[in-house]
Amino acid sequence: MTVSVIDSSQQSLPAQCSSAGDRAAREAATIELFELRERSSDPAEQQELLDRIVELNLEIARGIAHRFRGRGAEIEDLEQVAFLGLMKAATKYRLDAETPFIGYAVPTIRGEVKRYFRDCAWTVRIPRRLQEIQGAVSAKLPELEQRLGREPSIDEVASYLGIEADEVEQAMAARGCFNTLSLDRPAGQEEGLTLADCMAEEEDRAVSQLEAVDMLQPVLADLGQRERRILELRFVEGWTQSEIGREVGVSQMQVSRVLRQILDTLRDRLEPLPSAA
């Protein structure tokens, strides 16, 4: 049976990919399974290969689900929604697409989880328009904060999104309208410990970082050495554009143009394909 050909090569893949090499191996094994599925004419074999693809990438879906924990929905429900998104991504992904599977799957899974919050997890119903604005604000606020170097005002957020300031204000005021749990609810077996006592003061950024690395790794590999060096100096080392220009032997304006081209390319490569909508 065709599936057995891939079985032995995947036995060495770890359950959790903690390094770039592990993630690259997972992506390669995933693509190999897609290729086998495309060549197969047996519906049962195609389904088994699809199941293997999903199993191989469950860590991605689980990580995205945990990224949304603590927002009023049970983590088990979030994982089920994320697994559904992964299944959709595996079913719709096409090998002739330029986007790596990880770059297609992550936005698809994330979109599925966001739709769950939008459509199913609201305790106080607010207009769909405000729900969408709240999602846009949550997605773009970190980007705007990084650009300004501070927390933006309501007017600045509105201008950045191209909408009215009062809509932003209403959407931000509607935060917390998801299903809620009492903070006085007992947590675990320890007597006197409540849910409020167990809440982290800050959001766990580890999962978010892992998600970003997973998505960017195959895309960054396609960049040239100079482009990767410029990205490293700007976003890892924190150099100014003028300092980067002196380092690589170009003007500050050229560095700005190259950075804009690189970011546009990365953004285009990481956009979900139309079938993910």
Tell me which residue of 102, 75, 140 sits closest to 216, measured CA to CA: 102
Domain-embedded: residue 275: yes
> How does pLDDT run across 72-127, given as a tens digit for each residue?
677 888 899 899 999 999 998 988 877 888 888 888 898 888 888 766 655 555 56
Domain-embedded: residue 124: no
The enclosing domain of 253 has a CATH number of 1.10.10.10
Q: Does position 198 have pLDDT exceeding 60, yes or no?
A: no
If you average pLDDT over residues 212-218, what whole number do you get?
64
Kindly report the average pLDDT of the chain as a whole number. 75
Domain-embedded: residue 269: yes
Domain-embedded: residue 277: yes
Q: Which of 148-152, 181-185, 217-221 is modeled with the greatest confidence?
A: 148-152
Looking at residue 83, its pLDDT comes to 92
Q: Does position 22 have pLDDT exceeding 60, yes or no?
A: yes
Looking at residue 191, its pLDDT comes to 54
* Exposed e or buried b per residue across 108-117, where buried means at least 16 C-beta atoms within 10 angstroms of its C-beta: bbbbbbbebb
Q: Does position 2 have pLDDT exceeding 50, yes or no?
A: no
Specify the range with the lowest mean pLDDT, choosing from 150-159, 169-178, 197-206.
197-206
Domain-embedded: residue 234: yes
Domain-embedded: residue 228: yes
Whether residue 113 contacts residue 65, with contact meaning beta carbons closer than 8 Å, is answered with: yes
If you average pLDDT over residues 211-228, what whole number do you get?
72
Residue 118 DSSP code: H
Q: Which range of residues forms the domain containing residue 241?
A: 223-277
Backbone φ and ψ of 246, nearest 5°? -65, -35
> How does pLDDT run across 23-62, given as a tens digit for each residue?
888 888 999 999 999 999 999 999 999 999 999 999 999 9
3-state secondary structure of 15: coil
Domain-embedded: residue 230: yes
Q: How many CB atoms lie within 10 A of CB 217?
A: 16
Backbone φ and ψ of 128, nearest 5°? -55, -40
3-state secondary structure of 237: coil
Domains held by the chain: number? 1
If you average pLDDT over residues 196-203, what whole number do you get?
50
Domain-embedded: residue 108: no
| pTM of the predicted structure, to 2 decimals | 0.47
Q: How far is CA 73 from CA 53, 180, 227, in A?
A: 27, 8, 41
